[in-house]
Structure formats: structure tokens, C-alpha cells
Amino acid sequence: MSRSKELRASELELRASELELRASELELTRRDSEPSQGSTATAEDLNGHAHELPPRGSRSPRTLRDGRCHHSLLVEAPLTTQTSVGGGLLASSEEVVILERMRRAPDWAVVVNNIAFMAVPRSVPANFAQTGWYLGICTLVYSSYVTYDTGMLIGRLSTQCGARSFPELSAEAMGRFASRRGWREHRRRTARQLAHWLTLAMQFATYYLTEVCELIYFEQYFGQIFEKSALCQWQWMLVCAALALPVLQVPTFHEGRWVALVLGLLPLSLNVLVFFYEVLLVRPWTCAPGPTWSFAPPSARRAFVGLTAFAYAYGGHGLYPEEVREMAVPSRWPRVMRLTYAAVLPLYWGCGLLGYYAYGDFANANININFPPNGPNFASIGVQMVQELYFLYSTNLVLMLAIELALGLDPSVACAPSWHGLPPWAGRLLLRGGLFASQTFVAQLLLAGEGDTLIALQSLIGAVGMTAFTYFLPYALYLMMSAEEATPARRVWCVGNIGIGMVVTIAGVYFSIDELVGSSAGLFAGDCKLEYAYSPASPDDPCYSERGLVSLTV
């Protein structure tokens, strides 16, 4: 206990030193009314304010004792001006207070959030059903290494330059790239703003659509559990929204650690156990006709739908800079990544390989359809209903925080200070409720079939943003910010991944939209209720028989 107290005291001391440095710089800025002599390089922040860059080879005045550059001069405006937080404008004093309040998450809280958000191991067999054995295994190997590498890279870039969101990180990279090439002031400012807003738009679209996808999953679980209910899909969707709205009010990742633990990790553990139980209970590979597997190269459509669905499964990197922003000790991010991947990768490999071996090309995005209608299966569905509350919360959190910070609403307080005459909790309820209502409306538009629609929607999400944030954008930002540090082999690796990622993104968007349109019943044209054909009722099931396996339904 005394050791942890000493560590906490040293951290507070470090933050106090940082604030003293900021105050000193403010004083120097006020005293220095004459322009500096000689030729100096300049760069702009997101608001277009020009700042003098330190001479090449010198230490930045914001580099502290631990060697971390908390705020680069390219991102942060002087304390006498306004600065950008989450894409909006806040007075610098207010910014410092809010960010310091938010920087309190312990390592384990970030690990729990990462695992609970990222880990969807039971969806991996359906990805294999799109790609087949060979392409699926190659993608699993590639994704396991590349996404770990990019996750470490995002953390390093964020802690080195002090970017507090992915859009800020992109703007920082573009600023350094433009400065090295001597672009004119107006061109540099335009490039920085374009990088910021394009990244923000992609981040918003990615997690907005992910929320829509999770809402559809949520209402389908209600339809499976309460199959004899008179409620239609659209009515269950309203029930789901009403249940989720209170959970969405949890303010930040720090408070969300308990939501992740109770509503995320515990249900995940139980569902993985049920997965292995159901597979080993039935052993579909012993049935007649048995599973069918694809060994030949898949069609372009199936290949890119499968690849972007894998990107969806490995997604989560789009919120890493925001998580680093809230860490009490951001330099411990590598430890967070190691623990996250030590937990997730065995689940992906175990569930992915065993699930595809068991169900073959019949592996469903809603894997419970592949199980017989027995007690453990329905218990698993019930637990997933609980888990969906966490997915709906965590998916929207990065968007909600960006909106609140942009509008000056402090997410770390509940009652005071007021925000536009409202207590902060009421402001959050208003903003988060409005965003969630729009997503519920879009989900109502897309209600249709249970399997193909979901895998196509996941593929579209993977293509729109997950592929970029997870597979190639971190490499692009790294080359723009630190190209001189990279070895020739590292540069080739980065450029190769950027090329592969862009091809997968473009082709994935095209084929996933085509698949989504083909599998959808049309806007507002979904059936009132879905019929769920559990194993072995479907003719495509490996254990299909006209009599059914009565012994498995009790």
C-alpha cells in the first residue's frame, strides 16, 4: 500500500511540475513582444495559430522528466489562446482542468475495457465461412500480428506528441509532414484541418454504424428468448433502447471499467464456455451429412466481405488515443496491449478454428443459431442480452465524449459547474439521448434477416473505418511523423500494409454494400418476427435430419 501511495505522490508531483512549466511559458509569452531573430520553422495548431518550432536537435520545453512529450507544439496553442479539444474550442484553463480530471484510469481499467470491447471470438467462425480455410488462417495470422503492432504504435505516437484523440493524432502527423516539406502557412493549416475532420468523420461513421449493428443484435436476442411474444422486431428495438439509455450515462472510460467488468467480461467468459460445451456436445463433424468446408479461393465478393469482417473482429483501435488520454500513467500503454492480446488471441484462435471445423460454411454470424435449442443455449442468449448493454455503451462512448468536449460539457462532473443552465448529468442525458435516438431510428430502417444482413453490416463497418484505424492508418501516421526513424525494412513494411489496407477498404465497401442491399428486405420492410431454425432444423445444418435430434433439445 505504501509503495502505491509513493507512486501516486510522484505522479501528482509530476503533474504539478507540468502545470508550473505551463505557467512559466505563459509568462514568457506575455513578456516576449518582439519577434525572434533569425530564420525559424513554424507550424499551426488546429485553429490556425502559428507556433515556432524548436531548433533541430533541441529538447522541447514540454518534455518532462519521464521523457514523454505531453503536448506537442503542433497540436497545442499557447495558453493565451483557445485550443482544440475533441475538435471543438475550449478556453485553455478549462481544458487543463477537464483533462486533468479525466486522467485517472488505472492500467487494469483500460485492459478490461479493451478486452470487453474487442473480444468477439464467437463471430470468427462466420468470418471463416466467407473466406474458407486457407485465406481465413492467413488473415488470422496476419491480423494477430499487425493489429498488435499498430496498437503499440498508436500508444507510442499518442504519448509522445500528446494527441488526445485520433483526429488530433492525424492532424499532428499532417502538420509535421507539411512542415518538413516547407508548405506555405495557408496550405499547412488547410491540410491539418482536413486531416482532422476527415478522421473525425470516419471515426464517427465507424462507431455510429457499430452501434446500429449492436442494436440489431440486441433486439434479435429478445426475439429468440421471447419467441412466443406478440411484439414485433421494431417494438423490441424500442424496448432495447429504453433499457440501454441509463447505461449510456456512465461518464468516461474510468467509470466504465465496472460496466466492462460486470456487463462485458463476465458474460464473455460464460458465452465462451457455452460455445465449447455446445460444440463438444453435438460434435457436428461426426454427423451426416456433416459440415462442408471451403478450401478453394473464394469469390471476390466473399473474400472481401470476410476480410473486412475480420477487421471488425479486431477493431477497437479507433478509440486507443482516447483511452491513453484517460490513463493515470500513459507510458504504461505497452503493458495494456500485452495483457489485452494475451487474453483475446487465444479466444480468437480457439473459437475460430474449432467453430469453423464444427459448422463449416454454415457457421452463422449469430452463432446461437448453430446450437440446438437447449437450456445452455438459451442461457447464453440471455447473457448476451446483458453483454449487449456494454457493447452499446462502449461503442458510443468515444462519440459521446467527443461531442461533450467539443461543446464544453465536462464529462468528469455530475452536478456542478452547470452547462447552459443545466447540471452536467442533465446535459449528458440530453446529448447522449439524442445521439442514441438517431441510431435507433437507423437500426429500425435496416431490420431484416438474421444472418446475412448482420455479416454484411459488420463487413461494411470493418471496411469504412475498422480497417483504416486498425490496419494501415497508424502506419501512415507513423511515416508522416517519424519517417527518419524508420529503417528501410520498416518503411517497406509500413507502405505494404498501407497498400493492402486501402485495397481491402475500397473493395470491402463496394462488396459489403452490395451484400447488404441484396440481403435486406428494404427500408422499414423487415418482417414482424424472425423464424429461428436452431440446429438441426435447417437443411444446411451439418446434423440436419427430418426427425431432428430430440435428445439435444431437453
pLDDT tens sequence across 306-340: 888 898 899 889 989 999 988 999 999 999 999 99
pLDDT of residue 452: 58
pLDDT of residue 501: 92
* Domain-wise residue ranges, the chain: 100-552
Average pLDDT of span 381-407: 90
100-552: CATH topology: Amino acid/polyamine transporter I (1.20.1740)
pLDDT of 165 above 50: yes
User: How far is it, in rounded angstroms, from Cα 111 to Cα 45?
Assistant: 32
The tens digit of pLDDT for each residue in 109-150 reads: 999 999 999 999 999 999 999 999 999 999 999 999 999 999
Give residues with Cβ within 8 angstroms of 457, minimum separation 6. Answer: 209, 212, 213, 216, 446, 512, 516
The 10 Å CB-count burial string (b at 16+, else e) for 194-210 is: ebbeebbebbbebbbbb
pLDDT of 500 above 90: yes
Q: How far is CA 357 from the centre of its chain?
A: 29
pLDDT band, residue 545 (cuts 50/70/90): low
Peptide bond into 289 cis (omega under 30): yes
Average pLDDT, the chain: 80
User: How far is it, in rounded angstroms, from Cα 341 to Cα 382?
Assistant: 27
User: How far is it, in rounded angstroms, from Cα 144 to Cα 341?
Assistant: 8
On whether the CB atoms of residues 52 and 36 are closer than 8 A, the answer is: yes
pLDDT band, residue 524 (cuts 50/70/90): low
Q: Please, is 67 exposed, middle or buried when counting C-beta atoms within 10 Å of its C-beta (0-12, 13-18, 19+)?
A: exposed
pTM for this entry: 0.78
pLDDT of 53 above 90: no
Three-state secondary-structure class, residue 90 = strand
For the ranges 162-171, 201-210, 250-259, 427-436, the maximum mean pLDDT occurs at 427-436
Q: Give the end-to-end CA distance of the chain in Å, rounded to a whole number.
A: 52
DSSP state of 463: I
pLDDT band, residue 488 (cuts 50/70/90): very high
User: How far is it, in rounded angstroms, from Cα 190 to Cα 48?
Assistant: 8
User: How far is it, in rounded angstroms, from Cα 47 to Cα 87?
Assistant: 10
Percent of the chain with pLDDT over 70: 78
Average pLDDT of span 170-180: 91
pLDDT of residue 150: 97
On whether the CB atoms of residues 74 and 161 are closer than 8 A, the answer is: yes
pLDDT of 24 above 60: no
